[in-house]
Amino acid sequence: MDNSIRGLLSDVLRSLVDYDYPDKWPQLLPVLVQNVQSGDKLRIYNALVALRKVCKVYEYRNESKRAPLDALITQTFPLIQGLLGSIKDHQTLEAALVIKVCLKIFNSCTRYNLPMQAGGLIVVVVVIFSSYSSYICRLGRYRSPLL
């Protein structure tokens, strides 16, 4: 899919999420989770972009309005962590883009408030960021063909 079309569709999704999720669109998160688990690279990437847009809607909301984000964290962080573990040694642009979106999801979910009901989430976030800091440093040595 063309990145400009993906960007437009993800902006439309963000508007829909703002007005319809989760009350009028409760099946959104299960569908995104299913696509992350699909094994199809394009579906996984698009689902991650969509998850990022959902996170952005709830990123700066106060605790009383973050329940949809907390559900997203509980259901997707273990999947995303597994996905990152499976692709961390791949030296491809696609793997780097997936890792970038995953880290952006983690950032958006934890920037304003760390959800404490998720148990060991703080430890998971610290482990994820520390384990991928060396990977990010390695990526910095390669020049992106897109730049």
State the average pLDDT for the chain.
82
Q: What mean pLDDT is predicted for residues 104-124?
A: 69
Single-letter residue type at 31: V
pLDDT tens digit sequence for 59-73 = 888 888 888 998 898
Res. 45: pLDDT tops 90: yes
| Residue indicated by tokens 């999801």 | 105
pLDDT for the residue 73: 87
As a whole number of angstroms, the distance between CA 110 and CA 104 comes to: 10
More confident residue, 129 or 120: 129
Structure tokens at 90: 């791949």
Q: What's the whole-model pTM score? A: 0.80
* Residue 104 contacts residue 52 (beta carbons within 8 Å): yes
% of the chain at pLDDT higher than 70: 76
pLDDT for the residue 81: 85
As a whole number of angstroms, the distance between CA 75 and CA 33 comes to: 8
User: What is the signed CA dihedral for 17, 29, 92, 84, rounded to 10 degrees?
Assistant: 130
Res. 55: pLDDT tops 50: yes
